[in-house]
Every structure is written in structure tokens, then in C-alpha cells.
Amino acid sequence: MRVVVVGAGVMGAWTALWLRRAGHAVTLIDRHGPGNQLGSSGDESRITRSSHGPDRFYPVWQRRALAQWRELEHAAGERLFVQAGVVWLVSPGESFEAESLVSLTALGIPVEQWSHDQFAARVPVMRPDGVPWALFEPEAGALFARPAVSATIRQFEAVGGEVVVGRVEPPRAAGSGGSGGGGPGGLDEVQLDNGRRLAADAFVFACGPWLPDLFPALLGDLIVPHRQDVMQFAVPAGDGRYGADAMPVWIDFGGSFYGFPSFDGVGLKACPDWLGPIERPDDSAREVAQSSIEASRAVLRKRFPALGAQPVVKSWTCFYEVTPDAHFVIDRHPGFGNAWIAGGGTGHAFKHGPVIGEYLAALVTGNASTIAELGPADGRFALHAREARQGFRTSGRNPLEDAPG
């Protein structure tokens, strides 16, 4: 089978790799090139953690995916993951961590419950004020996102995959000007902005926050791009307390904040998790709002007092591609029988990249046993209108911002 995969972020790269491993002829196309920094996967670091409250589906995917990331790391011969652990700072009245504790224990995934005093002793550089207890995932940590996607694409090329740089135009139905193997109701080919056409038997569109631009009628309401501001703050020179061997990745779920240790000895990441402004990626000025920097500084003053006035050493923006219920979209296009859509990462898809690719490759090729093994029983990834679900990873708003006026 010949397959064209559009989008070389984490979803497209892993789908292409799995399809190529299964012996198919695969072309991976990206408008900004493989391993680019403009897609959602192009950031420096991403959290991989098992906790998902009462949900027991995502933790299983995450553990499987982490094993595959580690295999990739071994094959690539470079550091792609740091097992720094992830600590969840419980807010009074928040049930997410207690539910996660029950789920992970039932699934046999290592997890620890720390009292307030244990948290203070285990992570002495963080102030524990207002944290009654903490949940710690010792086997979780940080993935180096852009290098990990680049390594995935290098593996894909090493096994004979083809990479093309170019922007794919919104696809047109078979019989509307193209020719090829899509058949009735299928897609024959895609066309690039330079006029080049690529025919295939099957197509995958994994275009991150650009998906609604390609399929506005289908995805305009289902996947909404929110600009997220990302910042790293300078750590005092030579102070080893902020390194990954001294402190874990941390998530304040109730407070909608998260952060990473300093991996390079220079910068500690601290970012809001609430949804930023809705912007089309191509129209976005990609400028970090001053209010986001101030909000991060306020959190640093509370948790890491020595960093409250430190300079921002790095800042950039990327996009949460948000679905109403925070579940991804992995499904066949309703109008093109041989085209598949993968996206809607909603701020938590990176870690699952290898398994998203494995599952999607199985859907494309009709591999029934893998579909049965990996597919969700509740149809959560289907392309249909969804009910909004509050409080899942993307709750909250910047308290420093004025109400929209």
C-alpha cells in the first residue's frame, strides 16, 4: 500500500514510522519541515505522566508509549527522556490526584502519596505552602520533544521512508480534478503549494493546530487552537537545586500551572496550563503576553522565592489544539473513505505519540488485532460533536488578566 502522511509532528511521524515498519511505501510531508519549531511538538520538553484521574485508558497508553520512547532513545543513541519523576501538588478540595492514586494503584503503576512534610523533605527547593499532600510518579518525567520527533523521523528515513517539505492544499474529493486510487468516495491525491501532486492508496492528516484550516466544515468547531505561552526563567549560576537530579517535574493541577527542572543548568520552565487566546497559527504574532510572564513570576515567588525576580531566558508560543472533551481525534474522514485524521491533542498528546501512531497505522491498514488491543471501548476518539467537559487538564484562567471586555 502507498500512504501519504501529512504533518510531521509527533502524531504524523510515529504513524509514518509504524506504517513503514509494516512494509508500506510511506511519504511524510510537512510544510515547515521535519522537526520544526512551529508545530505543537516543536517545544523543548513535554511531560510524560500516568495520572489521569479516574480514567484508566490513558495510563495504559502512556506506559506503552514510554517504553517505545525508551526504545527509540536506545536506537537513536541520544537522551530523549529524563526520569525526573512527576509530583502533583494537591489543592484542597481537588479530587484528581486522589482518583489518580486509586487508578494507578489498581493498574500496578508505581505511585507514592507524600504528606505535606514528606513533600517538603523530598523537594526542599519548593515551598510546600498550601499543599496538604502530594502525589508522586517516580517513573514519569520529561521527554525532549523536538529532538524526540526528529529522532522518530530519522528512524523512519533509516527504514526507507520518504520525507517531503511542502504545504498540502485542502484536499478535494475524487473526481474533482485528480486521478488515482482513492476510488469512489475516496481521495486520489494531495497537491502541494508548489503544484506537485502525490497519489496514494491512503492518506493521514496529522496537522496539529492547522487541521481546522484544512477541514473547516468538519473540524472548525471540534478542534480549536489556543495559543499557549511558554517561559523559562534563569536559575542562579551554579545552583544545583534546580536540576533534574534534585527536583522533579511538577504539576499544580488545581492552580493550572506546571514546570520543569533546569535541564541545561540555565533555565527552569514554569507555565500556565489554562487556555490561552484562540488564534489561527498562521495569523498569530506568536508573542508571549506580559500577563503570562507576570503570572509565572507570581507562582515562582510562591514556590521558588529565589527565582521570583529572575530574567526570562527563553520564551515562545505553541498551540493547544483543544477538543471540547479533551479526547483526541483519531478517525476516518466521513467524506473520504481512505483518509484519516489525527489531532486534537488538547495539551496532553505528546507522550502518547508512539501509541497514537501504532493505533492509527492499524486503522489505516485494517490490522484488527492491534485495533482491538489498543482501541478505546468508549469510542472517545471518534469524529462527532462532543459535550464540553470541564476540569480536565485545561481548566482555569489567568487571574492577572482582565475579564474579556
Q: Torsion angle, CA of 93/99/105/109, rounded to 10 degrees? A: -100
CA atoms within 13 A on the CB side of 399: 8
63 binds ligand FAD (CB under 6 A): no
30 binds ligand FAD (CB under 6 A): yes
Per-residue cell: 209: 493546530
- The contacts of residue 371 (CB under 8 Å, 6+ apart) are 359, 362, 363
Taking CB under 6 A as the binding criterion, the range among 38-46, 72-80, 122-130, 177-185 that sits at the site for ligand FAD is 38-46
41 binds ligand FAD (CB under 6 A): yes
46 binds ligand FAD (CB under 6 A): yes
Q: Which amino acid is at 389?
A: R
Taking CB under 6 A as the binding criterion, the range among 20-28, 94-102, 315-323, 377-385 that sits at the site for ligand FAD is 315-323
DSSP 8-state code for residue 394 = S
Q: What is the b/e burial string over 363-378, where b = at least 16 CB atoms within 10 angstroms of the residue's CB?
A: bbbebeebeeebbbee
52/326 Cα distance (integer angstroms): 12
CB 356 within 8 A of CB 309: no
6 binds ligand FAD (CB under 6 A): yes
Looking at residues 316 to 355 of the shown chain, list those that interact with ligand FAD (rule: CB under 6 A): 318-320, 343, 345, 347-351
104 binds ligand FAD (CB under 6 A): no
276 binds ligand FAD (CB under 6 A): no
Strand residues in 128-196 grouped as ranges (E): 133-137, 141-144, 162-165, 189-191
Taking CB under 6 A as the binding criterion, the range among 5-13, 303-311, 329-337, 381-389 that sits at the site for ligand FAD is 5-13
174/11 Cα distance (integer angstroms): 25
Binding track, positions 160-189, relative to ligand FAD; x by CB under 6 A:
-------xx---------------------
Q: How many CB atoms sit inside 10 A of residue 230's CB?
A: 19
Q: Cβ closer to ligand FAD: 63 or 348? A: 348
Question: What is the helix (H) or strand (E) element at residue 297, kind and residue range?
Answer: helix 290-303
9 binds ligand FAD (CB under 6 A): yes
> Residues binding ligand FAD: what is the number (CB under 6 A)?
38
CB 258 within 8 A of CB 220: no
Q: Cβ closer to ligand FAD: 193 or 264? A: 193
Q: Which amino acid is at 368?
A: A
Among 5, 7, 288, 362, binds ligand FAD (CB under 6 A): 7
Q: How far is the CB of 202 from ligand FAD (least distance, A)?
A: 17
210 binds ligand FAD (CB under 6 A): yes
Torsion angles phi and psi, residue 354, rounded to 5:
-60, -40
Taking CB under 6 A as the binding criterion, the range among 28-36, 124-132, 286-294, 359-367 that sits at the site for ligand FAD is 28-36
85 binds ligand FAD (CB under 6 A): no
Q: How far is the CB of 266 from ligand FAD (least distance, A)?
A: 19
Q: How far is the CB of 184 from ligand FAD (least distance, A)?
A: 25
Sign of torsion, CA 368 370 372 378?
negative
Length, in residues, of the chain: 405
24 binds ligand FAD (CB under 6 A): no
Q: Cβ closer to ligand FAD: 161 or 347? A: 347
- The contacts of residue 375 (CB under 8 Å, 6+ apart) are 359
DSSP 8-state code for residue 121 = H
44 binds ligand FAD (CB under 6 A): no
Interface residues with ligand FAD (CB under 6 A) are 6-12, 29-32, 36, 38-41, 46-47, 167-168, 206-210, 214, 228, 230, 318-320, 343, 345, 347-351
